[in-house]
Amino acid sequence: MSTLPINKKADWQKAVYIAIVAFVTYASVYAYRKPFTVASFEGISFWGVPYQTLLIISQGVGYMLSKFTGIKFIAELGRKARWKPAVLLIGTSWLALLIFGLIPAPYGMLCLLVNGFCLGFLWGIVFSYVEGRRTTDFIGAAMAVSFIFAGGFTRSVAVWLRDAFSIPDVWIGAATGLVFFLPLALFFFLLERVPAPSEEDVAERQMRIPMSREQRRKILQQFGLGLLMVTITYVLLTVMRDIRDNFMSNMWNELGYGKKPEKFTQTETITSIIVLTVMCMLVLIRNSFKTFFIIHAVVAVGFIIAAGSSIAYFQGWISGAAWMQGVGLGLYMGYIPFNCIFFERFISAFKIAGNVGFLMYIADAFGYMGSMTVMLTKEIARVQMNWVNFYGTAVIIAGVLGLAGVLGSYIYFKKQASLQTHE
């Protein structure tokens, strides 16, 4: 495998620039997705389910449907004028938030469904600009941790707008999206002008190309069992991360920090810095096979930290704030590698002709299906737990199952790597 040296003055300056652009672009996308969750819609429920929960589920279903659709759409996405579908999708997602403020409950559920569907394609579009580079690990890590930071930051902006300008719950999402419109437009403009991967990048990381149906089928036939184990592991991470992300405000309220919106940004920023540091260290390992298997260890450690934090909290060894920090850190240590490095190195190591979006959207589609299933089950079965107890217990179960999935994936791909080496 070619491992050409990275010119620090040229390649790294370009990598930092692209990372900043990708980070701010995707962080701004979150302003159209998460801020409405700070609105509790207290006292409003339908069919025995809180309206806030129905809205979150509706958006999640839309997001899930976009992931299944994106398996084909993102895999076949061309490399020219990608900003056009991005603008259409973002504009429609904001229009849905605007209409949400105009129509009565429970019809707002339809608006959140459309909003989620549109936003679900954005990760694949943005990542297509940065994949296939020798510095993609670093760039992708910056982009991936943007949604750790953005989840807290955009909520803090939403809380500030609500409190400073007395904005009603139904308008919080549209108002926050409006604030981020110009930054998002500017950084998509810059993203469109990011140079394509160099010849050296292609030599080490493979050419990234739109994938035909036949190419997609070939990958699934060759690596199907391993990808199944990876997907199951990712489903567990997505379910735990998504519940934490959507109901973070509820859990902070139950823990006694509801009047401190800065906690959202503070804890998520600390998590972002730690995870980004860990991910960036992997860029120093040039051998894609070695990095691919190290990532398995990182994900395993993440499961241990998340489950261990929940056990420690239930035993009274740590505070609620420390628990939220520990669970967030552990889950994102497992979740982030899949969004920026795992499939990137998989394609490079096994010399696959294709793109990350196809593989990522398969995992994401089933991940969000799992997330929606858990939330619906909790509401339909009327599970009598507050969010902290429910979530803490679920994290422990997911941690045990996740470790088993990581081990199975490691063994499978080690065998595949051995077969490829001897061919």
Residue 2 pLDDT: 46
Fold annotation for 11-194+209-421:
Growth Hormone; Chain: A; (1.20.1250)
CA gap 264, 257 in Å, rounded: 10
The token pair at 206 is 């493979």
CA gap 232, 366 in Å, rounded: 8
The pTM score is 0.81
Residue 15 pLDDT: 85
Contacts for 286-290 with beta carbons within 8 Å, 24 or more apart? 286/3, 286/134, 286/204, 287/1, 287/3, 288/1, 288/205, 288/345, 288/348, 288/349, 289/1, 289/349, 289/417
CA gap 197, 214 in Å, rounded: 25
Is the CB of residue 228 less than 8 Å from the CB of residue 366?
Answer: no
Q: Is the preceding omega at residue 106 within 30 degrees of 0, hence cis?
A: yes
Helix (H) or strand (E) holding 374: helix 356-380
- In this structure, are strands 45-46 and 49-50 parallel, antiparallel, or unpaired? antiparallel
CA gap 256, 323 in Å, rounded: 13
Q: Helix 320-340 crosses helix 342-349 at what angle (to 10 degrees)? A: 30
Mean pLDDT by 10 residues, the chain (423 residues): 55 84 88 79 79 85 92 84 87 93 88 94 89 84 76 81 82 88 89 85 82 90 92 91 77 72 65 79 82 93 95 90 89 85 89 87 89 76 73 92 94 87 55
